[in-house]
A and B are shown apart, each in its own frame.
Chain A
Amino acid sequence: MPKKKISKSASAPKDTPPKKTKTTVEAAAAAGARTKDSAAKKSPDSQSLNLYSSTDALQKASLPESYYQTYVTLLSKEPYVLYAYWEIAGDDIERLREAIGPEAEQGVYTLRVYDVTLVDFDGTNANYWFDLDELFMNNRYIHVGSDDATYVCEIGMRLPSGEFKSLARSNYIRAQRAGASQRRDVIWKEIEESNQPQNMYVNIRLFNRQLRGRLKPRSNWMMDGSRMILRADDIRAYYQRRVPMMKIFMERLSSEEQLSLEKLAAGQIGFQQTPDTGGVVSRTSERVTFLGATDQFFRETDKKEFPFELKMTLTVTGKTEPDADVYLGNKKIELDDKGEFTLTWTLDDGVLPMDFRAWSPKKELGKTIESSVIRTPTESREL
C-alpha cells in the first residue's frame, strides 16, 4: 500500500461506477482502497464524462451506493427500536489501521450505542452502552431497553484490549415515548403584563433621526422620551394631510427647543452620527466635540462654556467585632483591625439599596440593617 496522504476530497470521486455489494466492512474497506487507486489513474474529466454520457436511464436515476465519507446516522423508529445507517470511507479505515498498528488485525468493527439521557455526553459518561458487532450491511435496526431516552451511537473498532477507537459519532436522538405522558396537570398559559403604553404615539425618530439627540426626555407632558403622544386632532390632521406631522411636533416643543431646532434647520449647528459610539458630534465647530448619545451629555459648542458641576459621593461607615463577617447584599466587606469599615460611592440619580448583614465569628449571632438611599432626578437649567 503506498503510504501517501490524500485528502478526502481528492481521493473520493463522487461518480465512480457502482460496485458489487460487499458483505463485510473489511471487504468494503479493501474495495474502497482499490477504488482510490483506480480513481487516481483516471482524470476527473473523463469520470464526469462517463456519468453524463451513460445512456442507462436507470443508472442515472438511482442513488449512488456510496458517498466515500465516514458517518453514522441514527433515527428513531419506534419507542424501543432505533435505526442506524452508516458508511466508512476506505481512507479512514487505512488511517485507523496505521494509527493502531499491527493490533488492528485483531480488532472488530463495532457500532456502539450509548444511552445519554440527561447527560452532557463527552464520550465517557454515558448512562450505559452496548456494542453491536455484526455489521454485515450499512444499516440495521437497534433494539433498546427504554423509551423516552436520548441515544447516540459511534462507529469504530474495538481492540482485543477492550479499547474502542471511534471513527464517527452520530446525531443525538430522543426515542419516542411508549405511553401517555406522565405529566397530567393542566399547563396554563402565562399572561404577561402589558408594557405598551395605552396612548397612541409616533416615534419622533421617524421624522428626523438627528432630532432625537436634541430632545430632553419628558420635558413636555406630551412627550415620552422619543415618543410623541397623539391626540385625536393629530390623527385627523395626519389623515387630512393639512398639517405635516413635523409641524405638529414642533408645536409641542418648548420655545427653547424650537429655537435650537430652527438653528439646526438653518445650518448654524450640525450633527452627524458617529458610527463607533452611536453618539453625535458637531460638524461646524473646528474641533470635533463628542456630544454624547443622549442629551445628558449634550453641550452646544457655540455657547461660551461656564463650568458648573455637581458630584455627590456617599460614604457609609460601620463598626462591629473585628472577626465578624459583614455582607452588603452578597458581597463580603473587608474589615480593618478594629472591626470598622468605610465604603464610598459616587451617588447617581436613582435608588441605591443598602442591605447589610453581619454575623458573629462563630455564626451564633446575626444582625441585619436595611436601608436605601434615593437621589431624585437631577435637573439643571440656565439662568
Chain B
Amino acid sequence: MRIAFFSWESLHSIAVGGIAVHVSDLSAALARKGHEVHVFTRMGQDQPPLEWVDGVCYHRCIYDYQQHFQDDVMNMCRAFVDRFLETQHQVGRFDIIHAHDWLTANAMIWLKDATDGKPIFTMHSTEYGRCGNNFAGGHSEEVAHHEWNGMYHAHRVIAVSHTLKNELQWLYSSPDDKVDVVYNGVNVQQFDGWIDSLAVRKMYEIGEYDPLILFVGRMVYQKGPDILVEGIPQILAHYPDAKFVFAGDGGMRMFIEDQSRQIGIAHATRFLGSVSGWRLKDLFKTADCVVVPSRNEPFGIVILEAWSAGKPVVASDQGGPSEIVWHDVNGYKVSPQPDSLNWGLGTMLEKREHAHWMGRNGRKTAETTFSWDHIADDTLNVYNN
C-alpha cells in the first residue's frame, strides 16, 4: 500500500507539538509493516528537500511565506499538492491520502478530486477545545470551518479518543460510523534501560526512600496543578517525607509556587520548569507514581509515558484518561478534586506492592495496546474499511 501523509510538522522537519511525534512514529511503524509511506511536510533550516528516514520518504516542501496565517497555510497546501502530483508521476498512484489536522485538510480535499486515493483525515483536537471549550470568532471560526470541511470530504475520519469523537459528532454533525477511534501511541522502547534512581533523587534533593509523586504538564488551569497542591498537606500528614515534583512551565507556575509557600508545603515541592529529553525520562523512571489532575484532557500522552516507564498513574476521570486508565488495574481514576485525588495518591503510597503491580500492568498495556505497531494496525484497519 502506498500512503501519503500530510502534516505541517514532523520530528524530522519542523517539530512544534504532539502531531510531530504522531506522524513520525506512525509513519515509521507503517513502513515497518511493509508499506510505502511518503510524508509531505514543511522544510526546516538546512534540510534537504527529499530524505529517507526510518524507511519513510520525507518530502520537505518550500512555499512563499505569507503574512496572514490562513494564506500561509493555503500556500503550504498548494505546495504539498504540487509535490504530491510530481511524486505520483514518478512512483505511481497512491492508495491513501492521509491528512493530519485542519492545516492540511485542503490538500486532501483538492487531491480527492485529482486522484483516486482514499482520503483519510485525522483529528487530534478541535478548535473548540483549543480555545478552552469556547466558540471563538474570527480566525477560530475559519479554522472550525476548515475542520468541518475536511471531515465532510474525508472518506474516514480518525479521532484520537472517544471523547474527541463525541465532540466531533456534536460540533460538526458527522455520522457515527464515519468516525473511527485510533488512540495515540507511545514509543515504549525509549523508556527501556536502568537508571541510578538515587542519583536522580540527589539531583533534586530528594531522600532515598521518600515517596516521589510526579506531575508532568503545562502549568495551566486546565491541567489542575492547583488541585494537587491544595491536597498536599493531607498527604504530608500521613507521609511526611513525600515529595512532589512539578515538571512543566506555564502561566500558572508563579501562582502555584506562591500557593505552596502560603500553605507551608514548599519543602515538599520541587518546581523544575520545562523538562524534556533524558531528564524527563529519568524522572519518570524514578517516580513512585505519576499524577494527572487535569480538569480537561483530550488524550493524556503523559499517562502512556508513565506506563512505559512502568509507573502507575492517578488520573482525573476526564476525557482521555477516563478511557485509557483501567481503574485499579493500571492506575486509579479520581475526580479532579483534592480529596478524591488524595484518596488515589494515599492508596497508591499505602499499597506499594499493588502500585508496583499496577505499574507493571501499565507497561504491559502500553506494550500491547499503545505501541505504535499496534496503533499502525488499527490505522490500517481504518484504511481497509
- Report A-chain residues with C-beta under 8 Å of the C-beta of B374: 236
Give the one of B328, B354, B361, B367 with max A CB within 10 A: B361
Checking B183, B209, B356 against A239 with a beta-carbon cut-off of 8 angstroms, the contacting residue is B183
CB within 8 Å for A240 and B353 given contacts A189-B209, A202-B329, A235-B365:
no
Chain A, interface residues (CB within 8 Å), range: 10 to 19
Residues of B307-366 contacting chain A, CB below 8 A: 324, 326, 328-330, 353-354, 356-357, 360-361, 364-365
Evaluate contact between B356 and A235: CB separation under 8 angstroms.
no
- Tell me if B369 counts as interface (CB < 8 A to partner A): yes
CB within 8 Å for A196 and B354 given contacts A202-B329, A236-B369, A239-B324:
yes
- Tell me if B378 counts as interface (CB < 8 A to partner A): yes
Evaluate contact between B361 and A240: CB separation under 8 angstroms.
no
- The docked-state distance in angstroms from the alpha carbon of A192 to that of B371 is 33
Checking B209, B324, B353, B364 against A200 with a beta-carbon cut-off of 8 angstroms, the contacting residue is B364
Residues of A148-199 contacting chain B, CB below 8 A: 189, 192, 194-198
With both chains docked as a complex, state the minimum distance between the C-beta of B122 and any C-beta of chain A, in angstroms.
17
- Name the residue on B nearest A195 (C-beta): B353
- Report A-chain residues with C-beta under 8 Å of the C-beta of B190: none
- Report A-chain residues with C-beta under 8 Å of the C-beta of B368: 232, 235-236
- Name the residue on B nearest A235 (C-beta): B368
- The docked-state distance in angstroms from the alpha carbon of A87 to that of B364 is 65
CB within 8 Å for A196 and B356 given contacts A189-B209, A202-B329:
yes
- The docked-state distance in angstroms from the alpha carbon of A236 to that of B326 is 12
A-B interface pairs (CB < 8 A), number? 35
With both chains docked as a complex, state the minimum distance between the C-beta of B291 and any C-beta of chain A, in angstroms.
22
Evaluate contact between A196 and B357: CB separation under 8 angstroms.
yes
- Tell me if A238 counts as interface (CB < 8 A to partner B): yes
- Report B-chain residues with C-beta under 8 Å of the C-beta of A202: 329
With both chains docked as a complex, state the minimum distance between the C-beta of A203 and any C-beta of chain B, in angstroms.
8
Residues of A230-275 contacting chain B, CB below 8 A: 232, 235-236, 238-240
- Name the residue on A nearest B377 (C-beta): A236
Evaluate contact between B209 and A238: CB separation under 8 angstroms.
no
Interface residues on chain B, number (Cβ under 8 Å): 20
- The docked-state distance in angstroms from the alpha carbon of A202 to that of B358 is 11
- The docked-state distance in angstroms from the alpha carbon of A238 to that of B369 is 9
- The docked-state distance in angstroms from the alpha carbon of A22 to that of B104 is 88
Checking A189, A192, A200, A232 against B361 with a beta-carbon cut-off of 8 angstroms, the contacting residue is A200
Majority SS at the chain B contact face: helix
- The docked-state distance in angstroms from the alpha carbon of A256 to that of B326 is 30
Evaluate contact between A239 and B369: CB separation under 8 angstroms.
yes
- Report B-chain residues with C-beta under 8 Å of the C-beta of A200: 329-330, 360-361, 364-365
- The docked-state distance in angstroms from the alpha carbon of A203 to that of B152 is 43
- Name the residue on B nearest A238 (C-beta): B326
CB within 8 Å for A196 and B364 given contacts A239-B324, A240-B378:
no
Evaluate contact between A198 and B369: CB separation under 8 angstroms.
no
- The docked-state distance in angstroms from the alpha carbon of A232 to that of B369 is 8
- The docked-state distance in angstroms from the alpha carbon of A181 to that of B158 is 65
With both chains docked as a complex, state the minimum distance between the C-beta of B374 and any C-beta of chain A, in angstroms.
7
- Report A-chain residues with C-beta under 8 Å of the C-beta of B326: 238
- The docked-state distance in angstroms from the alpha carbon of A256 to that of B368 is 32
Evaluate contact between B364 and A235: CB separation under 8 angstroms.
yes
Evaluate contact between B360 and A198: CB separation under 8 angstroms.
yes
- The docked-state distance in angstroms from the alpha carbon of A196 to that of B352 is 10
With both chains docked as a complex, state the minimum distance between the C-beta of B385 and any C-beta of chain A, in angstroms.
14
- The docked-state distance in angstroms from the alpha carbon of A232 to that of B368 is 6
- The docked-state distance in angstroms from the alpha carbon of A232 to that of B366 is 10
- Name the residue on B nearest A197 (C-beta): B357
- The docked-state distance in angstroms from the alpha carbon of A236 to that of B353 is 25
- Report B-chain residues with C-beta under 8 Å of the C-beta of A198: 360
- The docked-state distance in angstroms from the alpha carbon of A236 to that of B356 is 21
With both chains docked as a complex, state the minimum distance between the C-beta of A229 and any C-beta of chain B, in angstroms.
11
- Name the residue on A nearest B366 (C-beta): A235
- Report B-chain residues with C-beta under 8 Å of the C-beta of A239: 183, 324, 365, 369
With both chains docked as a complex, state the minimum distance between the C-beta of A298 and any C-beta of chain B, in angstroms.
27
- The docked-state distance in angstroms from the alpha carbon of A240 to that of B323 is 10
With both chains docked as a complex, state the minimum distance between the C-beta of B232 and any C-beta of chain A, in angstroms.
24
Give the one of A198, A232, A239 with max B CB within 10 A: A239
- Name the residue on B nearest A193 (C-beta): B353
- The docked-state distance in angstroms from the alpha carbon of A198 to that of B357 is 7
How does the 8 Å CB contact mask read for A191-235 relative to B, with 1 for contact and 0 for none? 010111110101100000000000000000000000000001001
Evaluate contact between A235 and B353: CB separation under 8 angstroms.
no
- Report B-chain residues with C-beta under 8 Å of the C-beta of A192: 353
Residues of A49-84 contacting chain B, CB below 8 A: none
- The docked-state distance in angstroms from the alpha carbon of A194 to that of B353 is 7
- Report A-chain residues with C-beta under 8 Å of the C-beta of B364: 200, 232, 235
- Name the residue on B nearest A192 (C-beta): B353
- The docked-state distance in angstroms from the alpha carbon of A121 to that of B365 is 57
- The docked-state distance in angstroms from the alpha carbon of A240 to that of B329 is 17
With both chains docked as a complex, state the minimum distance between the C-beta of B348 and any C-beta of chain A, in angstroms.
14
- The docked-state distance in angstroms from the alpha carbon of A195 to that of B183 is 33
With both chains docked as a complex, state the minimum distance between the C-beta of A157 and any C-beta of chain B, in angstroms.
41
With both chains docked as a complex, state the minimum distance between the C-beta of A161 and any C-beta of chain B, in angstroms.
49
- Report A-chain residues with C-beta under 8 Å of the C-beta of B361: 200
- Name the residue on B nearest A198 (C-beta): B360
With both chains docked as a complex, state the minimum distance between the C-beta of B303 and any C-beta of chain A, in angstroms.
13
- Name the residue on B nearest A240 (C-beta): B378
- The docked-state distance in angstroms from the alpha carbon of A195 to that of B356 is 11
Checking B183, B209, B360, B369 against A235 with a beta-carbon cut-off of 8 angstroms, the contacting residue is B369
- Name the residue on B nearest A232 (C-beta): B368
- Name the residue on A nearest B367 (C-beta): A232
Evaluate contact between B353 and A196: CB separation under 8 angstroms.
yes
Give the one of A198, A200, A236, A238 with max B CB within 10 A: A200
- Report B-chain residues with C-beta under 8 Å of the C-beta of A236: 368-369, 374
- The docked-state distance in angstroms from the alpha carbon of A192 to that of B378 is 41
- Report B-chain residues with C-beta under 8 Å of the C-beta of A196: 353-354, 356-357
| 21 sampled A-B residue pairs with Cβ under 8 A | A194-B356, A196-B354, A198-B360, A200-B329, A200-B330, A200-B364, A200-B365, A202-B329, A232-B364, A232-B367, A232-B368, A235-B364, A235-B365, A235-B368, A236-B369, A236-B374, A238-B326, A239-B183, A239-B324, A239-B365, A240-B378
A interface residues, Cβ below 8 angstroms from B = 189, 192, 194-198, 200, 202-203, 232, 235-236, 238-240
14 further interface pairs, Cβ-Cβ under 8 Å (given A200-B364, A203-B328, A240-B378) = A189-B209, A194-B353, A196-B356, A196-B357, A200-B329, A200-B330, A200-B360, A200-B365, A232-B364, A232-B367, A235-B369, A236-B368, A239-B324, A239-B365
The 8 closest A-B pairs by CB, nearest first: A232-B368, A196-B357, A200-B361, A239-B369, A235-B368, A196-B353, A236-B369, A200-B364
